């Protein structure tokens, strides 16, 4: 019942073709830490078998005659929520992948898989399976040890992860993310800024930093991250924040997998009070990984019709993904009275509150970016900086409220409980 590092990784294979099932089994048979606990021929059988064998990792064929792999994944995860589903497919189709990700799949491997890729992927995602399983069983264990209503065990404080995202490019995500990180960083609340815009990230430019190591270097060691490696790869900005840069060249983005980014972010959450994530505009599996770990998703839009349209599409997508709406924090940037579009109008149109506004100031913002000196390192009393500081105040407030609400929901003692 307690953590057991020696426990082997329980793998289930799902494929309608016997030969494929057998080949995969053979590829895995000599791995001491991997145990194939079952092989199912259909989606239906997979769901049934998963209930009995309780796998950590499911290797799921996408195309099967009765029930496709995506539908099977969705159903299987309802029963075994910690299972990590890796899709196997001959098609490398973006739409398939997106649907698979939406259904809860963790990773994607092209068929036929190589032994190395299969094994390393299984090991990588199994870490998450184990963590989730422990998390799910923790409340139960607590009940057993303490009895219901017993005193709470001290919880290890974990940092807050804030993702800054917009479906539309150029709206000011990087401007906000860099200043947010600087504003949140104190001696007591060390903050790291992560650039997950893997192809065209420009956080290092905004902060005038020379990239020596980047997220590529941590991703490569995602399974064995320790303080030393992390310390070496993170840059230190003169403001005091730590920075994990995007790869120095776009083609290097291919070296980084979403599952690795997830591991990196998880590790950073253990080490920093705040992890601020700047993203690209595509809702790809890297963005989904960041989203999944986010305590707050700060979505940015500008007061113009295309941007508001994209914000609406994003909110719709988040609803489909069942992203908890209380984690959403909606900011309008580049507000300009002359545009005639007010925050109230946007809020009315999108049917959700606007939680922050930053005025447009082309000259000041452009100068800050071009000089590589963030707004919050200049005069903080001036308009855009001042508004960002206010925004940080609201964000902190929101995180505190959220933590209190969660504490109440979890049944942990409240600050002002009845005793």
Contact with ligand ATP (CB under 6 A) among 173, 203, 297, 298: 173
* CB of 217 or CB of 357, closer to ligand ATP: 357
Helix and strand numbers, DSSP H then E, in the chain? 15, 13
Q: Phi, psi at residue 382, to the nearest 5°?
A: -85, 155
Residue with smallest beta-carbon separation from Mg ion? 174
Alpha-carbon Rg for the chain, nearest whole angstrom, is 23
- Residue 61's H or E segment, with its range, is strand 57-61
Residues near Mg ion (CB under 5 A) are 173-174
Ranges within 180-199 binding ligand ATP (CB under 6 A): 197
Ranges within 264-323 binding ligand ATP (CB under 6 A): 281
Q: Which stretch binds ligand ATP (CB under 6 A): 18-26, 86-94, 310-318, 353-361?
A: 353-361
Q: Binds 169, which of ligand ATP, Mg ion, none (CB < 5 to 8 A, cut-off by type)?
A: ligand ATP
Q: Binds 333, which of ligand ATP, Mg ion, none (CB < 5 to 8 A, cut-off by type)?
A: ligand ATP
Q: Binds 83, which of Mg ion, ligand ATP, none (CB < 5 to 8 A, cut-off by type)?
A: none
Binding mask 316-335 for ligand ATP (x = CB under 6 A): -----------------xx-
Q: What does the chain come to in residues?
A: 419
- Buried-exposed string 30-68: b where 16+ CB fall within 10 A, e elsewhere: ebeebbbbbbbbbbebbbebbeebbbbbbbbbbbbeeeb
Q: Binds 366, which of Mg ion, ligand ATP, none (CB < 5 to 8 A, cut-off by type)?
A: ligand ATP
Contact with ligand ATP (CB under 6 A) among 116, 362, 381, 418: 362
Note whether 126 binds ligand ATP by CB under 6 A.
no
Q: How far is the CB of 66 from ligand ATP (least distance, A)?
A: 43
CA-to-CA separations, 8 to 121, 259, 382, in angstroms, rounded: 15, 20, 58
In sequence order, the β-bridge partners of residue 279 are none
Contact, 88 vs 113, CB < 8 A? yes
Note whether 361 binds ligand ATP by CB under 6 A.
yes
What whole-number distance in Å separates Cα of residue 404 and Cα of residue 396? 12
What would the two tokens of residue 135 be? 């998390």
Q: Binds 294, which of Mg ion, ligand ATP, none (CB < 5 to 8 A, cut-off by type)?
A: none
DSSP assignment letter at 339: G
Note whether 172 binds ligand ATP by CB under 6 A.
yes
* CB of 103 or CB of 286, closer to Mg ion: 286
Contact, 195 vs 237, CB < 8 A? no
**Strand stretches in 90-165, DSSP E:** 107-110, 160-165
Residue with smallest beta-carbon separation from ligand ATP? 169
Q: How far is the CB of 169 from Mg ion (least distance, A)?
A: 7
Note whether 174 binds ligand ATP by CB under 6 A.
yes
* CB of 327 or CB of 334, closer to ligand ATP: 334
Q: What's the half-sphere exposure (Cβ side, CA atoms, 13 Å) at 137?
A: 12
Contacting residues toward ligand ATP, per CB under 6 A: 166, 169-175, 197, 281, 333-334, 358, 360-362, 365-366, 369, 384
């Amino acid at each position: 019942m307690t953590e057991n590092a020696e426990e082997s990784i329980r793998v289930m294979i799902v494929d309608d073709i016997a030969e494929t099932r057998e080949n995969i089994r053979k590829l895995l048979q000599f791995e001491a830490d991997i145990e194939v606990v079952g092989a199912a021929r259909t989606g239906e059988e997979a769901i049934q078998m998963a209930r009995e064998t309780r796998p950590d990792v499911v290797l799921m064929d996408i195309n099967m005659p009765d029930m496709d792999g995506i539908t099977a994944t969705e159903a299987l995860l309802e029963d075994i929520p910690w299972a990590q589903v890796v899709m196997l497919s001959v098609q490398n189709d973006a739409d398939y992948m997106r649907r698979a990700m939406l259904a809860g799949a963790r990773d994607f491997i092209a068929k036929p898989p190589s032994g190395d890729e299969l094994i390393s992927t299984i090991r990588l995602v199994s870490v998450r399976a184990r963590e989730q399983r422990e998390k799910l069983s923790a409340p139960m264990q607590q009940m057993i040890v303490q009895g219901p209503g017993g005193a709470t065990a001290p919880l290890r404080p974990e940092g807050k992860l804030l993702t800054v995202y917009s479906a539309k490019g150029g709206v000011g995500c990087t401007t906000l993310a860099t200043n947010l990180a600087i504003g949140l960083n104190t001696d007591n609340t060390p903050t790291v800024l992560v650039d997950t815009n893997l192809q065209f990230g420009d956080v290092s430019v905004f902060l005038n930093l020379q990239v020596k190591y980047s997220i590529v270097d941590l991703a490569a060691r995602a399974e064995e991250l320790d303080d030393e490696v992390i310390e070496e790869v993170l840059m230190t900005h003169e403001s005091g924040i730590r920075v994990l840069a995007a790869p120095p060249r776009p083609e290097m983005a291919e070296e980084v997998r979403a599952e690795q980014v997830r591991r990196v972010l998880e590790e950073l959450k253990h080490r920093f009070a705040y992890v601020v994530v700047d993203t690209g505009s595509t809702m790809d599996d890297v963005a989904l990984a960041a989203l999944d770990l986010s305590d707050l998703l700060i979505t940015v839009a500008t007061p113009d019709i295309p941007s508001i349209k994209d914000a609406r599409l994003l909110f719709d997508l988040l609803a489909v993904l069942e992203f908890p709406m209380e984690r959403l924090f909606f900011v309008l940037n580049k507000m300009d009275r002359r545009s005639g579009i007010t925050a109230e109008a946007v809020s009315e149109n999108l049917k959700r509150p606007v939680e922050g506004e930053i005025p447009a100031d082309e000259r000041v913002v452009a100068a800050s970016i071009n000089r590589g000196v963030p707004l919050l390192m200049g005069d903080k009393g001036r308009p855009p900086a001042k508004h960002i500081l206010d925004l940080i105040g609201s964000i902190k407030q929101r995180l505190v409220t959220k933590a209190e609400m969660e504490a109440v929901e979890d049944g942990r003692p409240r600050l002002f409980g009845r005793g």
